[in-house]
Amino acid sequence: MFFQSIETLIAKAQQGNKRAWIKLVKQHESQVYNYCLRMLSNPDDAMDLMQEVFISVFKSLPSFRGESSFNTWVFQIVHRRSVEYYRRRKHFQSLDEVPELTCERSELESNQLVQVEHQQLKTMLNNLPWEQRLVVELKFFQHCTFEEIADQLDISTNTAKSRLYSALGKLKVHLEAVDG
């Protein structure tokens, strides 16, 4: 099988070619799923959201004109769908509901320690305001520039920077309190 450019796949998918559509989905599904998982912190919800996203992408595909990269366009749809999903579900977990660690670090094996720290990080991210969490997601997990973040969220570059630095400040305060 030979390599097909993203532009060729898009053009074929827009004409109804199912194989081209499947290739586009396969190229983006892990990124979309991971984004959804980080934003919703629940694998089942992330899978549901990913399906909603690809349905929206499929329905909107004829209107894709290539004014931005396909990846940027897809993640604009992911962003809109995740905001809608978040508003429908509104999962909030207070810090009081998070179980406290009672084990000493020396008693934990490294594997367990990594799992505990990963869960703490997810909890801290979930406690950030939605707008700040989106910017953290786009900057550190999607590796977007501030300009790309501003484009996707329809905000100014300075607002994107402000939200990121505010989120990092909140995370720092929480980490200092935990290490305390």
Kindly list the domain boundaries of the chain, sorted by start residue.
Answer: 1-92, 103-180
171 Cβ contact partners less than 8 Å away, ≥ 6 residues apart: 124, 125, 128
Give the number of other CB atoms < 10 A from CB of residue 43.
11
pLDDT tens, 97-147? 444 444 444 444 555 555 656 677 777 888 888 888 889 888 888 888 899
* Mean of all residue pLDDT scores within the chain: 80
**Per-residue model confidence (pLDDT) at position 54:** 94
- Domain 1-92 annotated CATH 1.10.1040.50: no
| pLDDT at 176 (0 to 100) | 74
**What count of other Cβ atoms lies within 10 Å of the Cβ of residue 59?**
10
What is the 3-state secondary structure of the chain? Answer: CCCCCHHHHHHHHHCCCHHHHHHHHHHHHHHHHHHHHHHHCCHHHHHHHHHHHHHHHHHHHHHCCCCCCHHHHHHHHHHHHHHHHHHHHCCCCCHHHCCCCCCCHHHCCHHHHHHHHHHHHHHHHHCCCHHHHHHHHHHHHCCCCHHHHHHHHCCCHHHHHHHHHHHHHHHHHHHHHHHC
pTM to 2 decimal places: 0.59
Where residue 12 falls among pLDDT bands split at 50, 70, 90? very high
CATH of domain 103-180: 1.10.10.10
Sign of the alpha-carbon torsion through 116, 121, 122, 126: positive
Q: How confident is the model at residue 157 (pLDDT cuts 50, 70, 90)?
A: very high
